[in-house]
Structure 1
Amino acid sequence: MTSSNWVVTSVSAARPSLVLALVSALFLTSCGLFADVWQWNQKLTVEVLVDGKVVSGSAVSHIWWQEANAFDVYPSGYKGEATVVDLGQRGKLFALIGEETTYIAQYTLDDKLGYSRGDYEGLLPAIMRFRGAKDVPRDRYPVLVTFTDTSNPKTIRKVDPHNLSATFGPGISLVRVVLEITDEKTAFGKVEPILPWLSWPRERFLAAGGGITPLKIPGESIGRTNFVRKGS
């Protein structure tokens, strides 16, 4: 075999391996295995004025964002539990978690940190480095709910953050919602003892709603993971 034929044969033999390597690299990139990840813990505190006295509740959620994948999508996730405020004889107020949990820091801290909300690769790392607290804008409050009977998911009621008295009676109002980026760890155990149906088997839970979720409130799609989410 001449040297030129040997070179051509070697290149031809290498092509499948090269193609496989390129395909593998593209696949890994699209899966985000080489992507930067920005993550932080955020504490949400809800303060309520009840008959002249401020009562509050707080919960810490873990948030993560990943830089854009091959489809120009920024994957994200969260885990934690709803914030619960004990209003005594008035009942309990829950500030739910959900997809908006991953965005609340951007809407709360963008001006303070000097980045636009659309600048993900500037704002998200800045949030991860930041430590401190700021009031959440009123138009970005989490969904608020209560139950007339916490043992029955069908008794869920949506609460107007601007008019708590309509649900809980006179002398009660929402003072503020505060977001803090913190080193505190996520913790579970406040919500599940209050809402026993969170641990019901799926069949029993759906049966309580006549075959569909019993958690029905106007304008919202609510599930059990809006109260407790242990995996992101």
Structure 2
Amino acid sequence: MRKARLRRLLRRSGRGILGLDPSSFYSALDLPNRHWLRLYSSVSFAILTQGGLLVPGSRFSDLRCQRAWQAAAWLLLMLSAMLTTACGDVLGKSYPPYRYRLTVEIETPKGLRTGSSVIEVQTFRAARWMPSGGGGGGVGNKVKGEAAAIDLPNGQTLFALLETEWGWDWPVNLYALQVPYPTQPEVAARSPDGKWNPDLNFDMWMERVEAARGVFEVPRLREGLPSEHGVKPSGWPMLVRFHNTRDPATVEEVKPGELKAAFGKGYAVQRVTVERTEDPIGFDIPRRLPWLAKSNGSLVEHPRNEDGSLVPLSEAGLAVNLTGQAFHMRDFER
């Protein structure tokens, strides 16, 4: 009965039963109204339900008690506001999203052919106290974008995917890795205690990534990563073609150094570049590959052995190892 009565009182009160006006906080802290409404309702209801506070006819309904509890409510609301606005630093940090254009240039017997796509990345860093947090160790990203398609004069299309041999998070790091990390002395100079700080190091690097402009030529091989069978990992995207673009099972990888063998004399990758852009993100790949919208996970169903077990990925073929995310991403978290 008491809770139902309180709810009715809250609904009838234009300024809230505590006399507080939560709308005054909206513009001051630039938070969505619905969040403040939840916060205000929670604080108000918590105070109101403690011992029948402010219920008409109760011993707490005199003016002095009302004013005392109004002051307490204001204090709680202000404290909640400060915690809400500070939670980004307490729980980690979100960096501004940025876009870059990936461009792949291919030499052909009939001149240069290029293909490009716009990719958006937003980075989040976990706080140091969190199990995964600290200086880039607990980093997450949201990615939007798609593969770059290069139409060749022989009628085929070469796709530069959103991944490479050394990692599926290639689009997340591609632009950022063209920007050098701050040095330890640079970080120490900005640190309050004059010491190395991994969180500050990452913050400074993100500042540089945000400020960087110009065209960066992506190196063919990635330095600083372990080699596999004596071969350094590629810094370029994985390149694939389809013998039949209507059949995902016909996908085939084309190594950057093997375009001549795949397409004939005169074909070669000239360079791969990235540059910052504010251009909109285009989504043309689903039109080129209409089956992509129906793919769930791998491009084709994972085959099974006679005993019902799944064929090992190393033997299943490229169409099983690739997923739709290699071609097309919308708010994909990595």
TM-score normalised by the shorter chain: which range applies? 0.7 to 0.9
Amino acid at match of 2:219: P
Q: Which has the higher contact order (CA 8 A, sep 6+)?
A: 1
- Equivalent position of 2:141 in the other structure: 76
- Equivalent position of 1:170 in the other structure: 265
After superposition, what is the alpha-carbon deviation per residue over 1:156-197, rounded to whole angstroms, capped at 9, x for unaligned?
111111221122222100000010011212121x21121121
Matched, 1:230 2:330: yes
CA distance in 1, matches of 2:204, 2:143: 20
CA distance in 2, matches of 1:160, 1:79: 25
After superposition, what is the alpha-carbon deviation per residue over 1:15-35, rounded to whole angstroms, capped at 9, x for unaligned?
xx9xxx9xx98xx66994x62
Give 1 or 2: higher strand fraction. Answer: 1
For structure 2, list consecutive stretches of 5 or more residues without a partner in the other structure: 1-75, 164-168, 184-197, 222-234, 305-309
After superposition, what is the alpha-carbon deviation per residue over 1:48-95, rounded to whole angstroms, capped at 9, x for unaligned?
000050010110010111123322101112110000000132511111
Matched, 1:51 2:118: no
Change (3 A) 1:206 1:55: closer
For structure 1, list consecutive stretches of 5 or more residues without a partner in the other structure: 1-16
Matched, 1:217 2:279: no
Give, in angstroms, the shift of residue 199 of structure 1: 1.8
- Equivalent position of 1:107 in the other structure: 177
Q: Is the 8 A contact 1:156 1:216 kept in 2?
A: no
After superposition, what is the alpha-carbon deviation per residue over 1:137-160, rounded to whole angstroms, capped at 9, x for unaligned?
111111111111111111111111
Q: Is the 8 A contact 2:104 2:114 kept in 1?
A: yes
Count of residues in Structure 1 that have an aligned counterpart in Structure 2: 200
Percent identity of paired positions between Structure 1 and Structure 2: 23
- Equivalent position of 1:144 in the other structure: 239
CA distance in 2, matches of 1:202, 1:54: 35
- Equivalent position of 2:291 in the other structure: 197
CA distance in 2, matches of 1:171, 1:186: 32
After superposition, what is the alpha-carbon deviation per residue over 1:108-163, rounded to whole angstroms, capped at 9, x for unaligned?
232xxx636x8432222211122221101111111111111111111111111122
CA distance in 1, matches of 2:298, 2:161: 22
Q: Is the 8 A contact 1:81 1:227 kept in 2?
A: yes
> Could you say what secondary structure the match of 1:88 adopts?
coil
TM-score w.r.t. the length of structure 1 is 0.74
CA distance in 2, matches of 1:108, 1:183: 18
> Could you say what secondary structure the match of 1:49 adopts?
strand
CA distance in 1, matches of 2:125, 2:147: 27
Match of 2:153 among 88, 109, 113: 88
After superposition, what is the alpha-carbon deviation per residue over 1:183-218, rounded to whole angstroms, capped at 9, x for unaligned?
212121x211211210226499644x54789x9339
Q: Is the 8 A contact 1:38 1:124 kept in 2?
A: no
Change (3 A) 1:125 1:196: same
* Structure number with larger C-alpha Rg: 2
Runs of 4+ in structure 1 displaced over 6 angstroms? Answer: none
TM-score w.r.t. the length of structure 2 is 0.53
Aligned-residue CA RMSD (Å) = 3.1
